[in-house]
Amino acid sequence: MTEIARIALIGDLHGSWDDWDSRYFNASDYALLLFTGDLGSGTRDNGVRIARSLGRLAKPAYVMPGNNDVRHAPEIAAEIGHQRGLFALRRIGAAVKAGMHMPLSGQVRLCGYSVHPLELAGRSITLLAARPHALGGGDFSYPERLSSSYGVSSMEASARRLRELVESAPSEELLVLAHNGPSGLGSAATDPWGCDFRAEAGDWGDADLADALAHARKLGKRVLAVIAGHMHSPTCGGDARTWQLRRHGTLYVNPARVPRIFEDARAKYRHHAVLEIGVEARGCAREQDVEARGCAREQDDEARGCAREQDVEARGCAREQDVEAREQNVESVVVREVLVQESE
């Protein structure tokens, strides 16, 4: 069993993707690639060109359509589907020649208002893909497109659909992929989904997504991570945006470093983030929790024999270790940024 599943999180592309990236990710040990969308910057050429390249990836991948992908969404979907089919046929052809069995499916999928069961690090985890094309700021953006493609025509209907998806997830643990992040994570321009282009606008996150996450918590589902872009880093003011945040046991990640490909005097860099999910995180937490309780009991006994002050100290120790255990459980899911140099 793989002890750690490594998942590449690739933020808004805005044209910053080419065959070098395809070769790099195909040769990597990532179990899965997740894209937050905005393949191009609204022009047919770069959006469809990048969809063509993504469709040829040999890794399992999910692509969330962004607001910049709306105008050419049918072509992008067709291109990814077509390339995925061609890729599968080539694999099957090679397998037949080699006398091997190969699954009759490609690897890369557009997603949105959908759930996808996964096995990662021996854990059953459901990827929940939220509302496509999200513009944020409280808007139910592109209602015609969402109505015709997904049968969802208002923010209320979107919240309802997302809650239903949470309920339909076959596992207790979830990963969530969206284009824009949830509301409730800060209103400063540098917060993960804070508005940086209109100072007074504040929190630019989406309420339907926040509602779905609260619903998951209420049902006892564990949301390991929420991955979304749309609000870029650096901000319009040139500041670095907070790109990861842990809240209520969930890791929130905004990997949209735009431009994704950039250079300085020394080298050319390509940005993504890597999410690592460990195995048996709960067991680890439970063991440490038991250990913490044992320590409390011992110190408590000692305290009874001596003084009330020591009792208080013992309880403090138990509380601290209990909190530490919980945090270590949460930290079995970690994320870090990666800057790949082209020479690598």
- Binders of Fe ion among 60-99, rule CB under 5 A? none
Question: Is the bond preceding 234 in cis, omega lying within 30 degrees of 0?
Answer: yes
If we measure between CA atoms, which residue out of 293, 262, 285 comes closest to residue 333? Answer: 285
User: Between 12 and 21, whose beta carbon lies closer to Fe ion?
Assistant: 12
Question: How big is the CA angle at 112 (ends 111 and 113), to the nearest 5 degrees?
Answer: 135
CB of 270 to Fe ion, least distance (A): 17
308: how many CB neighbours lie within 10 A of its CB?
9
Reported as type and span, the H/E element at residue 227 is strand 222-229
> What is the DSSP code (8-state) at residue 199?
G
Kindly state the number of chain residues that form the binding site for Fe ion, as judged by CB under 5 A. Answer: 2
Piece of the chain touching Fe ion by CB under 5 A; list 10-18, 154-162, 218-226, 269-277 = 10-18
Q: What's the number of CA atoms in the CB half-sphere (13 Å) around residue 323?
A: 6
CB of 67 to Fe ion, least distance (A): 7
User: Between 38 and 208, whose beta carbon lies closer to Fe ion?
Assistant: 38
CB of 343 to Fe ion, least distance (A): 28
- Binders of Fe ion among 19-48, rule CB under 5 A? 38
Angstrom distance (rounded) from CA 181 to CA 164: 19
Piece of the chain touching Fe ion by CB under 5 A; list 4-12, 147-155, 241-249, 261-269 = 4-12
Does residue number 196 form part of the binding site for Fe ion (CB under 5 A)?
no
- Binders of Fe ion among 152-181, rule CB under 5 A? none
User: Between 11 and 184, whose beta carbon lies closer to Fe ion?
Assistant: 11
User: Between 18 and 287, whose beta carbon lies closer to Fe ion?
Assistant: 18
CB of 130 to Fe ion, least distance (A): 16
User: Between 13 and 175, whose beta carbon lies closer to Fe ion?
Assistant: 13
Residue 253, phi then psi, degrees to nearest 5 = -130, 125
Residue of 7, 10, 12, 152 that binds Fe ion (CB under 5 A): 12
> What is the DSSP code (8-state) at residue 8?
E
CB of 179 to Fe ion, least distance (A): 8
In three-state form (DSSP H/G/I as H, E/B as E, the rest C), the secondary structure along 71-108 is CCHHHHHHHHHHHHHHHHHHHHHHHHHHCCCCCCCCCE
3-state secondary structure of 262: strand
CB of 46 to Fe ion, least distance (A): 13
- Tell me which residues touch Fe ion (CB under 5 A): 12, 38
